[in-house]
Structure 1
């Protein structure tokens, strides 16, 4: 099986990913991942929207599984098989904000304990890292801001790579608020 990163937005499919997808006869992915890779999927391929993520481990060896962004950043890279990297929201957010990737500390709050993620993010910021926090729609940016020193910079990065991309910047003392559901938060001295 191959797990292929399709990028975090339109036009971010790498040449290697496109080539791998172009050779696929059996493709699985979320609706969003399939939409991002649609132009690379060959006519006649069997395409399935993922309904049961637990069942992915039992797919045949020739299956190609699409993962939004990069499979190794809170994606499907845990599956058995070869991983083809993709352009992640981390790469895009840090590029837009001009923050070196070497300063990054990744914290996932997506579908996880938000209080624990906030504590982890605070610890990393105090250590001098710039936190890339993967949020979910229920994540409270205000609670993160309240846990940080007031002068720490915060950026809410929404719909990265899409035409409606939005980056709202502020500080922990005056935090930006997300408008939608597809966003990440960058926090630190940047």
Structure 2
């Protein structure tokens, strides 16, 4: 099996990923991942939208699994096999904000305990890190801001790579508010 990162938005597919996708006879991916890779998928390739993520470990050896962003950043890289990296939302967010990745700490709140993620983010800020927080639509930026010193910089980065991309910057005292469900938060920027 190959797990291929298709990037976090349109036009972020690497040459290596495009080659692997173009050579594939069998592809699995979310609707969004398939859409991002569509231009590279051959007409005779069998494409399946993933409906059962638990069944992915039982796919045939020749399957190519598409993962949005980079498979090793809260993606499908855990499946094993060969992993082809992709352009992650973290890379794009830090580039848009002009931040180095050297002091980054990753916290995920996507489908996880939000209160625990907020505590972890606050701890990482206390260690001098810049936190990249992977959110889900129900994540409360306001609750995160309440757990931080007022002067802490916050950026809400939405729909990265898409035409409707939006990066809003504020502080914990005056936090930016997400307007879409596809967002990440950079804390300590």
Which range, TM-score by smaller chain? over 0.9
Task: Indicate the SS of the match to 2:118.
Answer: helix
Aligned runs of 1:167-186 on 2, under 5 Å?
167-186=167-186
Task: Indicate the SS of the match to 1:118.
Answer: helix
Aligned runs of 1:36-115 on 2, under 5 Å?
36-115=36-115
1:60 Cα deviation (Å)? 0.4
**Superposed CA offset, 1:24-74 (max 9, x none):** 000000000000000011111000000000000000000000000000000
Query: In the alignment, what sits opposite 2:155?
Result: 155
What value does the CA root-mean-square deviation take over the aligned residues? 0.4
Q: Is 1:142 matched with 2:142?
A: yes
Stretches (4+) displaced over 2 A: none
1:187 Cα deviation (Å)? 0.4
CA distance in 1, matches of 2:186, 2:80: 31
CA distance in 2, matches of 1:83, 1:42: 20
Would you say how many aligned residue pairs link Structure 1 and Structure 2?
189
CA distance in 2, matches of 1:23, 1:177: 42
Task: Indicate the SS of the match to 2:65.
Answer: strand
Task: Indicate the SS of the match to 2:79.
Answer: coil
Q: TM-score, normalised by structure 1?
A: 0.99
Query: In the alignment, what sits opposite 2:5?
Result: 5
Task: Indicate the SS of the match to 2:78.
Answer: coil
1:117 Cα deviation (Å)? 0.1
CA distance in 2, matches of 1:90, 1:62: 29
1:103 Cα deviation (Å)? 1.3
CA distance in 1, matches of 2:77, 2:184: 20
